[in-house]
Structure formats: C-alpha cells, structure tokens
Chains A and B, each alone.
Chain A
Amino acid sequence: GAVVSQHPSRVICKSGTSVKIECRSLDFQATTMFWYRQFPKQSLMLMATSNEGSKATYEQGVEKDKFLINHASLTLSTLTVTSAHPEDSSFYICSARDGLGRGEKLFFGSGTQLSVL
C-alpha cells in the first residue's frame, strides 16, 4: 500500500520556539494532504487541508498564522507550529490521498508527539 512518512516522531521544545513537521508521500503523488490533531482519548480532528501549489484550507477555530502549512511539491507538506505554547502539546498526524475521485483511502503518517515545556 501507499506509504506516508512523517518526521519527527517526537519533539520536545521550549515555549516560544517554532517546530516544523514534515509529511512525505513516498511512492505516490499527493495533490492533497490533511493535517490532524489528536488529544488523549479524543478523536482525530482535522486542522487543515493542504493543497499543492496553493494556500491551505483551515478548519474553523484553527489559527492559520500559528499553524503554517506549506505544500511545495506533490510529495511534501510541512506543518510549522509557530511560537509554540504548552497548550499546543498534542499528537499531530498527516495523511494523504492516493488516487482521484470518490472512495479512495487516506494513508496516514506515523504521527508526531509534540511536547511544549
């Protein structure tokens, strides 16, 4: 099946610093990638949809200036958490679609556990 690589798997940073998370589709081209966030014992919440070559579409309540998304190529999307604070600590997961049209699957990266001290 399709492979989505996400790095880093774990980040611990100081409050006020910025953290970049990379998501790569290794064996397919992904015109659309999705960024999710998961709090403990809660569902995966869609943060934004990343479209190659255009601006990301953010879900309601997600600060686009805080969570910067760049989808510079068909195989790479990055999420940068700017000026991170402890409340940004969470598990961030990217996903990508392989194929076009209806019914295609989402393939997920392995996730990034962000801990802001």
Chain B
Amino acid sequence: DQQVKQNSPSLSVQEGRISILNCDYTNSMFDYFLWYKKYPAEGPTFLISISSIKDKNEDGRFTVFLNKSAKHLSLHIVPSQPGDSAVYFCAASATGNQFYFGTGTSLTVIP
C-alpha cells in the first residue's frame, strides 16, 4: 500500500512561472517530509524539508507547504527555470529512520 502518493506523473510549466508539485500521504504518524530532485540515471539530491511543527519552509526559489489536516504537502518553485526540469520525489518519515517515497512527478520547464 502506497503511503505517499504523487498523483500527477508529469507537469509542464513555462519558464518564469510557478511550478506546484503535490504530494499526499495516508499515515498520520508521519512528522518529517522531504523533497528530492532526480535526473535520469542519477541518485536523488535533497532539495528541502519540513517538520510537522511547521506549515511552511522556504529556501530561495523553493517553498514547501504542509497541511497536516489534509495530509497534503506541496512544493512551489518560483520562478521556474529550464534547469529545474527533473523528476521530483516527496518522502515522509515517522521515525526519522525509514523514509517512504512517492512515485515522483516529472517536471518540464519550457523555455
């Protein structure tokens, strides 16, 4: 059973506009969330994280929003750049040990 879901397998956005990637989870015990970016045939690289005590965390062009009541988080990228084109995974953890990953969203930023 997939505990972390990314229902949009792909997303296309014009350069300079906002990209919004969504992630839903089912386990209410999850209290730490991360976003990773992955290029083909490479390992994921860490982007940004948020703990359940916050509802927003911002780092440059990247902002993660957490809605605990809805068990939903989103990653906002603004402004989007062509180099942001990659697959984005959200991940969640309840113990800080095992992380559960979503299936990923492939973002394409069109120049």
Contact = CB atoms under 8 A, between A and B. Distances in A.
B51 A93 contact: no
Given A41-B9, A93-B43, A107-B46, 14 more contacts: A4-B43, A10-B41, A32-B97, A34-B99, A43-B2, A43-B89, A101-B96, A105-B46, A105-B49, A108-B36, A108-B45, A109-B43, A111-B41, A111-B43
Contacts of B4: 43
A89 interface: no
Interface centre among B43, B96, B101 (most CB of A within 10 A): B43
Interface in B87-110: 89, 91, 95-104
Given A1-B46, A109-B43, A44 B34 contact: no
Interface of A: 1, 4, 6, 9-10, 32, 34, 36, 41-46, 49, 91, 93, 95, 101-111, 113
